[in-house]
Structure 1
Amino acid sequence: MTGLNRRTFLGAAGAAGLGTILGSQLANAAVPCGPRGASAVFISSYTKTGHGLDVAHRDAGASALKVDRTIPGINNASWFDVSADRKTLYVTNEDDEGGQISALSLADPTKPRLLNKKSSKGDAPTHLSVHSSQKYVLAANYNSGSVVVLPILAGGKLGDVVDLAQHKGTERDPHAHQVVNDPTGKWVVSVDLGADSVYVYKLNVSTGKLTLNQQLKLPSGSGPRHLTFHPSGKYAYILGELRAEVTVARWNSTTGKLTAGQVVPAVPAGTPGDQFPGDVQASSDGRFVYASVRGSDTLATFTVADGGKSLKLVSNVPVGGVYPRHVTLDPTENWFYVSCDTSGTLSWLPRDPATGLPGAVAGSLSIPQVNSVRFL
């Protein structure tokens, strides 16, 4: 199978039935600022029709996001991470050819200032994360199927790539979709949609070199996209994009090995049409897991049992837009923010902390080709 263009792959699946709720707000809704505050909210979008990088805020006691400004020169922004000292923002520039990673100063979080850009040594970098050592940024090149390591220099700037790990597919071209630390910070984990695999690496913090420790192969055609860890650090939830399902995997942080277990559907049996899950998140109390699902355009809720070992799908609610790429829990975990690429809408839904269930869409913001949201 030939390479899949990141922004055109399956993009027409949700084009029909476009309907949005623009600018409405849930009556008497209240959302206090979280302990880490919401002084700035970063919103990414593709720049064919979108803005790149927007900075927004929430007024005290409100759920609605209000965009304050667009930061110039940040093309095709798709994913964010922030340094531990909260002084630097890192952004993927997801160009189909010749991808880059941008570093921005957060001296004034409401007005990020570009420090520099560096090549990702690949095409369409779709995800990044700051390594726990705070010495490197890790990035996943979707079109190229590779993971790269960029050193963090003095003042937060990025250096040139010091290592590149190339994935290999058997039935399809590799498409690295995510790269994160495990909860202990000892291991680097990358999810590859094309290779139907999750790769576990050891990073030499002195040299920035990656050494492959495990390739967990999932069933052919599963197309894993993202994963998230249970707060206990003992389990990971691997979301399939080409099969609408979540695989529960036991995580051994001593050996750096994943063991696949239960597989749970992300939509009820008999749901019509094609379904392509987008993003997966876990609540901080470890009681719930959430996934956005493109096709039915819903937010799936799973309850967690057996200390993280098992999931049960309990709800799928409409997200008020078409093709929900990513879902973000705000710092209070009282609100979901869902980025719907095809409809160009960023919607928010209340969350009941007792039941874990999302309510009806409370409002939305119009942002063409919106991708993801990051609260500072």
Structure 2
Amino acid sequence: MAPGQGPAAPVPPGPARAFIGSFTSAGGRGLLTAAVDPRTGALTALGATAAVADPSYLALAPDGRVLYAVSERDQGAVAAFDVADALPRQLGEPVPAGGGSPTHLALADGHVVTANYGSGSVTVLPLRADGALDAPSCVLHHHGSGPDPERQEGPHAHQVLPDPSGRWVLSVDLGTDSVRVCALAADTGTLSVRAEVALRAGSGPRHLAFHPAGTHAYVVNELAPTMTVCRWDAAEGTLTRLSEVPLLPEPVEGASYASEVVVAPDGRFLWVANRGHDSISVFALPADAARPELRTTVPCGGHWPRDLVLDPTGRRLYAANERSGDVTWFDVDQESGIPRLAGSLDAPAASCVVLG
């Protein structure tokens, strides 16, 4: 130890478990639970349940005791699981989502909100005291289309996310090339649109993530390998498009479809998963958060990375590789932000990872 230096600050412990969603229709095991090694971040499978078909996206309650899963079917549904014990226990029957093919869900002010890709709508489901779900209190339908006749013939809500202030719920729509800013009335469980923000026609926005300062949002586009940088004003509920930056270095062979974006807890780095290119893009974020700089891309360790999640310490990154059927994990260099592959777990048709 150098003179005058105290002992190094202890690294906070990471999450104890991981929950992995998958497509049962493609051979997945449904909802897979894994233990997380606190020293290495390695995953060890504990068990799985296929009680719900195609639980493609998951969300964990803030207290970590209840897990919610969409059932991405034509007649979409949402299921709740008690995860206080080692393995999940279903809380009642799945509740119809009021929309088709839900691809995403989030918790907001005592409710679960889903993005229904197939029907181009957003559904609000109230929560009971025990964490179980009530029937939908609101289904908000999107309207519009985009220039791609195959993917944008109508609205396709792909993500719902509360903003860091908790005052707004944003929905990202691939079909209409837009993001809607909504207010959720907690007493009635209804959504009202504050504004619809147009992004570049044909870009096909899929998911967004907020900077931890709450001043910017980063929208990854599925139909173009780009990311749209936006300014966010929580006081007014306004999203302002600033720029669009490439996700990959040039030249790139073949098609690439971005899936997920995550931002470091300290706001210094940002990562994007790219399907087809099968990579993770690494961006450095400047102090003002407005001009992401593409540093490099690294292989995702599998094929078709559908989801990407960072552990709360910012030291490990996990990718759900749908078509190779595994979840890979990476140690993140704290100086450069570059992930280094550290291991993998077999998880057929993996689509989502939640840590808790």
TM-score (norm 2): 0.92
Alignment counterpart, residue 23 of structure 2, candidates 46, 49, 53: 46
The amino acid that maps onto 2:55 is A
How far off is 1:63 after superposition?
A: 3.0
Alignment counterpart, residue 354 of structure 1, candidates 311, 329, 335: 335
Matches of 1:206 and 1:60, distance apart in 2? 40
How far off is 1:328 after superposition?
A: 1.1
How far off is 1:60 after superposition?
A: 4.0
2:79 maps to what in 1? Answer: 102
Matches of 2:28 and 2:139, distance apart in 1? 30
8 Å contact from structure 1 (residues 130, 136) kept in 2: yes
SS at match of 1:362: strand
Counterpart mapping for 1:239-278 below 5 A:
239-278=220-259
1:19 maps to what in 2? Answer: none
1:112 and 2:106 aligned: no
Matches of 1:87 and 1:65, distance apart in 2? 20
1:142 maps to what in 2? Answer: 117
The amino acid that maps onto 1:163 is C
8 Å contact from structure 1 (residues 40, 57) kept in 2: yes
How far off is 1:84 after superposition?
A: 2.1
Alignment counterpart, residue 161 of structure 1, candidates 125, 133, 136: 136
Matches of 2:353 and 2:335, distance apart in 1? 24
CA RMSD, 1 decimal: 1.4
1:12 maps to what in 2? Answer: none
Matches of 1:90 and 1:60, distance apart in 2? 24
How far off is 1:362 after superposition?
A: 2.1
Alignment counterpart, residue 190 of structure 1, candidates 130, 154, 171: 171
- Identical columns (%): 39
TM-score (norm 1): 0.87
Matches of 2:112 and 2:273, distance apart in 1? 26
8 Å contact from structure 2 (residues 301, 328) kept in 1: yes
8 Å contact from structure 1 (residues 339, 345) kept in 2: yes
The amino acid that maps onto 1:130 is L
SS at match of 1:296: coil
1:374 and 2:350 aligned: no
Matches of 2:179 and 2:298, distance apart in 1? 29
Alignment counterpart, residue 339 of structure 1, candidates 320, 326, 330: 320
Deviations 1:11-43 (A, max 9, x none): xxxxxxxxxxxxxxxxxxxxx9854x5222101
The amino acid that maps onto 1:332 is T
Matches of 1:59 and 1:192, distance apart in 2? 37
Counterpart mapping for 1:1-376 below 5 A:
34-35=12-13, 37-48=14-25, 49-95=27-73, 97-108=74-85, 110-116=86-92, 117-131=94-108, 133=109, 135-171=110-146, 172=152, 173-359=154-340, 361-376=341-356
8 Å contact from structure 1 (residues 33, 60) kept in 2: no
Tell me: higher relative CO, structure 1 or 2? Use CA pairs within 8 A at least 6 residues apart. Answer: 1
Aligned residues: 339
Deviations 1:38-63 (A, max 9, x none): 22210110002001100101234233
Matches of 2:281 and 2:203, distance apart in 1? 18
Matches of 2:250 and 2:38, distance apart in 1? 41
The amino acid that maps onto 1:364 is S
8 Å contact from structure 1 (residues 54, 71) kept in 2: yes
Matches of 1:59 and 1:202, distance apart in 2? 39
How far off is 1:154 after superposition?
A: 2.1
Matches of 1:265 and 1:357, distance apart in 2? 18
8 Å contact from structure 2 (residues 16, 38) kept in 1: no
